[in-house]
Structure 1
């Protein structure tokens, strides 16, 4: 679960507008000690890039049910590297990583992903977005969401078709930390790689209360390696 501040009466900026804002100034930062290998290499690579630095990534139709371009900026990379608050683009890229892992294992048809910005208040109402969700029997959906926006869906049974909601006790990030995005990525990884995904989920994620530093670093390293690979091919 992620939560970002927004005002319901204001139109949120499009991703292209956000990209323009992010690219307006360079970011000065110091690489902390103990950073995993690929992440340290990535941070070193982007430390002195131009303010307009941007990685454009084509998201295949099968990932979210529509084709779109994803943009990763220097700011996104720095936030992942310094364990600062990450945005929807970072989570979407990790979903892309998980999707291709599932394809390799030939089980991608069991899971569906919804992009994090799907539940924002841009472009359509919550009711219209719910109507677009079309699942096949036996599929499991992963929807990273903003808590305040998603609450509407839980209380609107006319659109959710009498969904039986179940609250699961999942690993929780430390209080006052900015690790929620990293926890979301790690939990998605644990869910789709578990042989008995639903059993794991309904057992309160195996009784796990928090993620260790090594477990969070594992998803950060996968993310960083993916970005490095994309940079080498563009």
Structure 2
């Protein structure tokens, strides 16, 4: 049966010619991934204190080469990448960072109770703007990071959250990629990057290379589960 053309298929793949990793991922998406309804991606069970696996569809694999909006399962997959950096990296990399599975707090999945990431992530395709929240348990501080603008911060939330300056996305669809990059900086540098408002070294906007680095790390990880 021939796969029906999707919105992602009709989009242009962005900057993949500059990256052998992204080019390989696009080729595998066109070849191997089209043979399956979805690909199971798994991590260590202690990332979310439950069975840590999710499912990626062909559209998820195509979203990264085309820079389309990412859904919950793709974001969870990159959290697995960061978790492995902590667990198998040098001891100084471990800043005591823990993750919350975003699929269990999305409004589209909040009604039901799920036993694992698999159940929670199926069908998650939330298309609204995403922000990042970070909780410092030592100081009881909640940090709020919005890649659109810190001016979007709800004034009523100031009693709970500390609005943190971060690079601002140039368009309307990059929020998921910016959120992943922000998470990566927290994992690598610890809470200090939040306290000092020093994401991206103080840059106004992440570069294409910054975002492509996220895309490549995600691609390298998930393609290991295709075969």
1:80 to 2:64 alignment: yes
2:29 to 46, 64, 69: 46
Conserved 8 A contact 1:38-1:224:
yes
Structure 1 contact 111–142 (Cα < 8 Å) conserved: no
Q: How many residues align?
A: 188
Instruction: Determine whether 1:211 maps to 2:197.
Output: no
Question: Contact 1:56–1:72 at 8 Å: present in 2 too?
Answer: yes
Name the SS for the 2:42 alignment partner. Answer: strand
Quick check: 163-172 or 66-75, which moved more? 163-172
Matched residue SS, 2:69: coil
Partner of 1:115: 101
Partner of 1:65: 49
Structure 2 SS opposite 1:64 = coil
Q: After alignment, is 92-101 or 136-145 more displaced?
A: 136-145
- 2:119 corresponds in structure 1 to none
- Normalising to structure 2: TM-score of the pair? 0.68
Q: Is the Cα contact below 8 Å between 1:116 and 1:144 reproduced in 2?
A: no
Describe the shift of the 1:38–1:230 C-alpha distance in structure 2 as closer, same or farther (beyond 3 A). Answer: same
Specify the alignment match of 2:116 in structure 1.
none
Unaligned runs of 5+ in 2: 113-134, 149-154
Structure 1 gaps of 5+ residues are 1-23, 126-133, 148-153, 157-162
Counterpart among 135, 151, 163 of residue 167 in structure 1? 163
State the alpha-carbon separation in 2 of the partners of residues 135 and 44 from structure 1.
Answer: 41
RCO higher in structure (CA 8 A, sep ≥6): 1
2:173 aligns to what SS in structure 1?
coil
- Deviation for aligned residue 1:219: 0.8
Deviation at 1:215, TM superposition (A): 0.7
1:8-44 CA-to-partner distances (Å, cap 9, x unmatched) read xxxxxxxxxxxxxxxx845435545634211111101
SS at match of 1:93: helix
